[in-house]
Amino acid sequence: MESGPMISIGLPIALFIIMVGIGMTLTAKDFHQVTVKPAGLVVGTITQILLMPIVAFALCWLLSLPPAIAVGLVIIAACPGGTTSNLFTLLARGNVALSIVLTVSASLITILSLPFFTNYALRTYFGAEQEIVLPFAKTVVMLSVIVLLPVVIGMLVRAWNPHLASRAEGIVSIFGALVLLILVVGLVWGMRDRIDELATQAGPSVVLLNILGVLLGLMASRLCGLPSREGLAVATELGIKNGTIGLMVTLTLLHSSEMSVPSAVYGVLMFPSGMLLALYGRKKAREMEGAGDKQAEEIGEAG
């Protein structure tokens, strides 16, 4: 279950570069909009922090999962999104600023909420608790270095050279897609000896959790009247989880390789669904652009 140098060293570097590129597509106005109209932030936070663990508990009951797998499923459901969710939001042409704010806020709230849901799951399925403390300082440093710092650098580059920044989305999208492809191949290769066993143990529950997370994000956003781009950001945050945190809790804090199975499997299976969501978002964006162009033509003809 250990990651090789390609993932442990290469991935953070690649994500840093990607986040710089994402920063080049943003302005301070984008983040200002998130705070002035916080509906997307509220919906995304509640669904991610509260509703996703409830969905996991429901799946554990419906599927009668073994105790260790059940606890592991609750843990990955309670994990926040990560930098990969920001990239998928960019690929889906969602609201990237909202995605970044949700990643940061949920990661900080998770320091309290993840131990709560983990202990509740341990009590429910094992009849015992274990003291779990997530590293606050490490989380803040990680968010600052991997998320906030590169985004700020990218935004400064945009302010300095708008022409360079205007080319960023296409380059970042291509580079990001290549990084995701390499990551999926690396993860599958690393689990090649146990891929059948892991898929059998946790595959159905993990797939359902992922699909339900995406659908929950889209439906909750629509019910609350959020724009399409904000809905895509919320759905991506719910579907693309920070599996590293799940593995840290199960392997390092709980010392259970069996509980780590859902996080490991989710870390692979979330990428295909993320790509499908990105394709859906880009299709919606093209349809909206086409509708806007048609409306402009009709107005021109009427004038």
The whole-number pLDDT of residue 194 equals 67
How many residues are present in the chain? 303
Cα 246 from Cα 240, distance rounded (Å): 13
Q: What are phi and psi of 44, to 5 degrees?
A: -65, -40
The whole-number pLDDT of residue 1 equals 44
Chain position carrying tokens 């983040």: 31
The whole-number pLDDT of residue 135 equals 66
Cα 258 from Cα 251, distance rounded (Å): 9
The whole-number pLDDT of residue 144 equals 75
Cα 119 from Cα 112, distance rounded (Å): 11
**What CA–CA distances, in Å, run from 82 to 102, 165, 245?**
9, 23, 9
**What CA–CA distances, in Å, run from 226 to 18, 39, 215, 218?**
27, 7, 14, 9
CATH of the domain at 70: 1.20.1530.20
Which of 56, 71, 65 has its CA nearest to residue 124? Answer: 71
pTM for this one? Answer: 0.78
Chain position carrying tokens 């995701």: 180
Domain that holds residue 57: 5-302
- Name 39's Cβ contacts closer than 8 Å, sequence gap at least 6: 224, 225, 226, 230
Please tell me whether residue 254 adopts helix, strand or coil conformation: coil
Total number of domains constituting the chain: 1
Could you read off the pLDDT tens digit of each residue along the chain, which spans 303 residues? 444 555 556 666 777 777 787 778 778 887 888 888 889 999 999 999 999 999 999 999 999 898 989 999 999 999 888 778 888 998 888 998 899 889 888 888 888 888 889 989 998 998 876 666 666 677 677 667 777 788 888 888 888 888 877 777 667 667 766 766 676 666 567 666 766 766 676 788 999 999 999 999 999 999 999 999 999 999 999 999 987 778 778 877 788 778 888 888 888 788 888 889 989 888 888 887 766 555 545 555 555
